[in-house]
Structure 1
Amino acid sequence: MTRLGTSFWIVLLLHAGDCSEENINGCDMNPCMNGGVCENQDGQYKCHCSQMSYNGHLYGGPYCTVILLGCERHWCQNGATCYPYLDKGRHRYSCICPEGCTGTKCQTSTAFSFEESGFMQVQTKLTNAFEPLNVTLSFRTLQAAATLLQCHVEDQFLMLELVDGRVRHTLQRAQDTESVFLELPPMVSDGHWHTVKASLRNNMLGLSLTDPSCLEDTCRMEVQIDRAEPDLGSGLSELTVIQNLYIGGRGENETASGFLGCMRDVWLDSLIVVPGLGLRSPAKQLNVKQGCSDWDRCKENPCQNRGRCVKTGWRSFSCECHRPYEGEHCLDEYVAARFGSEDLESYAVFTVEDDPGDSNTVSMFVRTRRSQGLLLVLSNTTSQYLRVWLEDGMVKVQINNFESLLGSETVSDGHFHLITVLVEPESLSLFMSAKSQGRIPIRSVLVQAGDAVYVGGLPDRRASLAFGGYFKGCIQDLRINSRRLQFYPVSVPASSYRLQSLMKVTRGCTGDDSCTNNPCLHGGVCYSMWDDFTCSCPPNTAGQRCEEVRWCELSPCPSSAVCQAHTQGFEFQLYN
C-alpha cells in the first residue's frame, strides 16, 4: 500500500470514530421512546418524556420506557390534575391544583367570601420598604365601588379598589397633595371571576388584569413614580418596617367601602393568604367565611314582622317592611302615643318644615274604643283647612269647612286600623287598610312650610268639642307623605317633622284599668281589657255589668204560683 493510501485510511478511520461517538452519545439514534424528545447536552443526551398520554399511558425513566403508575391511587382533590413521576426509581405523583385550591393534595380552598363590614388584616415585616406591594388576587362581585386591598407602609398608602365598576390602583403619600393612580377600562362588576395584579416595584406602579376579553394594551398599565425614600426613623432598619394590609375593607372603623363578594388565590409575593392558614394568615378577620357561594340571604327569612325580603346583590338583601315597622330586619317599631289616658285631655303639635306639593297623603294607625274624638287638624295662619275626626265610630274628613267625606267602616273596636287620607288637587279620598271608603271632588288645598299639625285635639277645648272632643286611644306611625311625625324617636334614622309640644301624651299604648271602680254588679268579677272590661257574672245574672237578674230562675214563687219576669223584678200569679 502506498504512503498516500495509508494516510487516506487513517483519516477515514478517525472520521468514522467521530461519527460513532456522536451516534452513541447524541440524539441521532433516537434513544427517547413513546413520544419523548431528545436534547443534546455537550455530547450527551437527555430525554424529555411527553406529558401527553402515549398509547394510553404516561412514560418516564431515562429513555421514557417506564410506564408511570404513581397516579393509579392518587389522593388529589377538588378536580386537581395528577402528575406521575419517578423519584429514585419509586413511583410518585404530585397534584396540579385548579384555580381556587392549594395544598399538597389541593385539599384546601383558597376562596373566601366577605359579608357586610367584612375584612382581613395581614401584618408582615418588609425587608425592602421601597417595594411594598406585589399582589395577585382573583375576585367576583356585583359591586361597582369597593375596597379590594389597602396597603400601609410608613407614610405610603396603596389602594386596590373598584370605582364605577373598574379596577383602580392608587398610590398616596402623606406629604403629597395629589395621588397617582392607574385605572383599567374593562367593567368587572359582573359577578364573574377576574384576576388582577398590582405592584409597586423599582419605582413603577403597575396594574394588570387577566381576562379573556382583554387586549394587552387595555389590561396592562405602568407608570414611573418619582418618590423619596421613606423616612424609617432613627434607629430603625429596613428589617423592622411593618406592612399592614387590609383585604376586603379598611378595618373595623370603615364600613362604607366594604367588599361584598368572593376572593381566591390571594398571593402576597410568593405566599398565599387563606383564612387561618400559612405564614401570612390574617392577624384579624371579621365577617369572612371560607368558600364562595352567592347564597341568597332571603332564604334565611331575615325580615321580621311579615317584611318582604328582596335580593339586592352579592349576599345582600333589603327588607320591605310593613308599617309600623322599619329597620334592616323590620325589627324597629314606631312608638305609639297614648292620648286621653285616664280621661285626660291631651294633644300634640308638629310643624311642617317643607313644601310637600299639590298631592299629599296623611296616614296613621288608630286604636280606640270611643266613637267620637278629634284625630288631626292641619292649619295655617288663617284657617284649619283639613280636619279628621271620629263620628259614630267612623272616620270623617273635612276640607276648608265645606267638603266632607264619611267612611263606611267602624274603627272603634279596640284594634289598630290604618287610616289614609289622600288629598289631590281636585279630589279627596279616604282608605281604611287600603280599602277605599269613598272619593269626592274638592277645591284644592296646599300644605306649606310653617303650617301646624294638631294631633288628638286642639289647645282650645271648645274648638275640640265641636269635632267630638279630645281623642282617647293610640296613634302610631303618623306620616304626611314620606315624612314621619314621631312622638318618640326610634333607633332607625327617619325624616320627621319637628315636634313642638306634647301635652299629657304618654308613651306606648297601655289601656286604662276599667276595673278600678268595680263596675260589675251583683257580685260579678271584673276583668280589665284594653280601655274596656268584661264581667264574669254569677248564676242567674246577665248583661255587660251583670245588671240583669233572672229572678224566676231563683224559683222565688211558691209551687202553686207562676213566676213572671219584669224589667224591675218579677211577680207571681197563683193558680186558680
Structure 2
Amino acid sequence: FDREYRKQYEIPIVIKDSGNPPQTGTSTLTVTIGDVNDNIMQPGSKEVIVYNYQGQAPDTAIGRVFVNDLDDWDTSDKLFYWDEVENPRFKLDDSSGMVTMRRGAREGRYKLRFKIYDRKHAQESYANMSVTVKHISYEAIVNSGSIRLVGMTDEDFIRIWNYRTQNIFKSKLERFRDKLAELLNIDKKNVDVFSVQMKQKSPPITDVRFSARNAFFFKAVQLNGVVLLHKDEIEQTVGINITMVNIDECLAENADCNGSCTSIMEVQTNPSLVNANKTALVGVQIKSTAECMCSAREYKQQQTCKSHPCLNGGRCSDSKSGARCSCPPGYSGPRCQQTVRSFRGNGWAWYPALDMCDKSHISVDIITTKADGLIFYNGPIVPPDDSDEQQQSDFIALELEQGYPRFLIDYGSGTLELRIQTKNPLNDGDWHRIDIFWDAERVKMVVDHCKTAVISEADDGNLVEFVDHTCQAIGRVPQFNEFLNLNTPLQIGGVFREKFDYTYNRWQYMPMGVGFEGCIRNFKHNGILYDLSHPGLSKSTMPGCLYTQEVCDLNPQVAKCMEHGKCVGNYDEAKCECNPGWSGTYCSLPTTPTTFKTHSYVKYALSFEPDKFTTQIQLRFRTRETFGELFRISDQHMREYGIIELREAKLLFRYSLNSGQVEEHEVSLTAVEVDDGQWHVIKIQRYGSAAILELDGGEGANFNQSFSFDGHQWLSVDKQEGVYAGGKPEYTGVKTFDVQADYQKSCIDDIRLDGKSLPLPPATNGTQWGQATMAK
C-alpha cells in the first residue's frame, strides 16, 4: 500500500443470517492507509477567500500554508516561518502551519510569503499565500439563495488541484458562480458564494449559500427560482447533484416536528473554514435548524428596531409596545409594506413561499371585471423529475373561474377542490375579500365575510337559521398527509409559464392558470401582511391599483384629500377615507382629542341605524392606565353588546349576540401592552359571530380574530341609550353615579362607528351621524 497512490479503500462486507429465507445486509469497512515522509517538498502557493460578516469576525483560522508535498501526514516533521517580514494582520502557528487572520483585518488583497523547513530531509522551501478579504453585509445574507448538494464534500466543491495528476482546474464553486452570473445576466464579480458547509459526512451532504447584486441585491426568491428553473443545466455544467433548492429544514413532513415548523437560519459568530490544499474558503457559518413553531404567531420576543422591521425606506422607532414604523408615501402597511398590486392578465409576481403552520389562514382582496384569473399559486414550478422520489407535490391555488372562486389544496396525498357559487359573480369591478382557513384535516373558504348569508332569528332569541352556501364552503383534505410543505416561490396574479404544464399523478384537480387582470390587495398569511412592492421576479405587473387610481384621479374632490387620507375606490366610483386623526371633506382638519378624567364618560344618540350583521369601530387612544372601558354599543337590555376595553394593559373586545341571555365571546391581544402613553389606533370588525381585532395596522401580535359563524349573528343597538365612550354610568343615588370600568387619566380621539364620525366634547358636541347627549 502507498498513501500517495490511494488514501482510502472502501470494502463492502455482506452479512447473512441463518433464517429462512435468510436476511442479508451490507456494511462498508473503510481502510485508511498510513503515510511515511518519503517525498521531497516543492514550493507551493495557495488562494484564500475570506468572507467577513459585517467586518466583525474574531481571530479566524484561514488555512494551512501549502507546499507541494505528496506526504500529508508529515506536519510534525515541518517547521513554518515568515519569510522576512511578518504581516501584522495575520499570525502563523510555526508547528501546524495554520495562518490566522486577526480581528479587524480590512477588506483587500494580501500577499503573504512563508519559509518551511523539513527536519527529516533537512530541506528548506517557500510558499506563497494570497488572501482576499471581503466584507459581507446583513442585506446579502437576508437576500441569499441556497442549494443542498448530495454526494459531495465541502472540500470537493472548492478544490482546484488534483494531487495525483498535479493538474489545476476550475473549481465547482467557480463554475457555479459563472453559471449563475450567466443566468442572471450580470458580471461574475457581483456573485458571492459566501458559505460552503458540510451538513453530513456520510454520505456527504453540503449546503451552499450565495448572493448576487446589480444596483440592488437580487431577492432570495429570484435566486432560488432561477436555480430551480435551470437545475438540470446547472448540475450538468458544474458537475453537482442538487437535492434541494432553497434549503428548508421543514420540507420533509414530520421529520423534525409533528405540527408547525419554521426553518431558522442563524449566523454564527465564528466563520467556517474549508481547507483544500491549494485553496481555502473562509465563509459565513450559518446554522440551519427546524423549530417546531409557527413563526407568524410566535410573540415571545417583542420586535425591536434591531431586527430591521421597517421596509421600503421606513423609519423605525422603539416603544414599550414594540417597534413602530413611519412610512414614505405609497406604503400603507404597518411595516411600510406595499399593499396592492396591478396585473394585466398576462403577468405574475414571485414572493417567498408560505410558511408551514398546523393551522393557517390566508386573506386577500381582489377587484376585476374578467371572469377567469389565477389569484395565487404556491407549489412545484418545474415538471416532476421521475428519478426524484423526494420531490414535493404539495400545492395551494386560488382562482376565479367564470367569475366564481375555486380553491385547490394538496398536502401530497390527494387534491381537495372547493367552489362557491356566490350570489353574483365576483368579476363585477368591486372589491371582494376571500378568506381561506386550513388545518391537518379541514379546509374552509369564506367570501366577503358571509355578508350575503340569509339569516333568520326569532325575537325570543331561540331560533337561528344561517344559510351560507353562497358565501362559505368547507371540505376535508384526502388522507394521510397532514401539512402543506412548500419552499418554491409564491406566485401571485398568474404563473410564469404561459401554459400550466406541470402536474403530478397524485393531482386530481389542477389550476387553469389563466393570468389575473385587475388588482390584488392585502395578501395576508397568518396575520403577516406580504410586502408586494418588489417581487423577486415579475412580468406585466406594477405597484398600486391602476384601475381604481384612474377613477380616483378623475374625481377632483378625492384628489384634494390625499395628503391626510386615501382614495377608496372601485371601477366606477371613488371616495375619501381620512387617516386616523384627520377629518373633513378633504381630510384637512385634524381631530381634537378629549381627555377622560375620573368618573368621565360620553353618551351618544345616533342618527343612523347600525347594521345588525356588521359592526365596524375605529378610534385612537393613549393611556398609561391598565384598566378601563374605551367604547361600547348595546341593546336596551344589555344582553346584546360589543365592548372594547383594557384589561391588565391589554386590549380586549367582548361581545354577546343573544337577545334572550348573555352568551359572551371575546377576542384579545395578549402579547401587547398598550399603557405606554403613545397614540394607538384600534379597529374592530364584526361580521355576525366572527370578529377581527387590529391594533396599529393589525399585523402579527397586533392582530387576532374569532372567525366562525356559530349561533346568533345579529347585534341590535339602542340608538338613544346603548352607545358610550369612556365607561357606562350607573346611578347610585338621585345625583350620584359610578362609572363602570372607568377609563380615566387618558385620551380618546376620532371615534368612528360603521365609518361614521362621532363627536367628542368639549370640542364637538354633534356630527351628522350622532349627538353627545351627556358628557361628564
For normalisation by structure 1, the TM-score amounts to 0.31
For normalisation by structure 2, the TM-score amounts to 0.24
Tell which structure's C-alpha radius of gyration is larger. Answer: 1
